[in-house]
Structure 1
Amino acid sequence: MLKRQVEPELMNATDQVEAYAAADFSHSDQALVEWIAQRFPAGLGERVIDLGCGPGNIALLLV
């Protein structure tokens, strides 16, 4: 069994957190959705599980 290695925290300062929260990821989110749509032309079905981090923006675009 692999031992879990915790990654170092990348956003320690308030300004870093605020900049990330204000960032516009819509173009990269849409690019990923289009990539997924090309690979699954029949669709993903009615259920999607988002195993990533964040607010679920990509999952919302997929359903």
Structure 2
Amino acid sequence: MGNQRLDAACARALQVGDPSYRTIKGILAAGTERDGITEPAAPTVAAFLRGPGAFGVDTA
């Protein structure tokens, strides 16, 4: 089990007000340590969709 999962389960148990071993074990067993936690959205990257002619490149 990874430290990140355990940390997330502990944080979840603290959120619900019951940081006991039994609660943390149950959260890990159910796989709900990430429920309610939103991951940051991936940054959007603009695409420059132009042909080589827009950059003065001759493709002929």
Normalising by structure 2, report the TM-score: 0.29
Of structures 1 and 2, the larger Rg is shown by: 2
Q: Give the TM-score normalised by structure 1.
A: 0.27
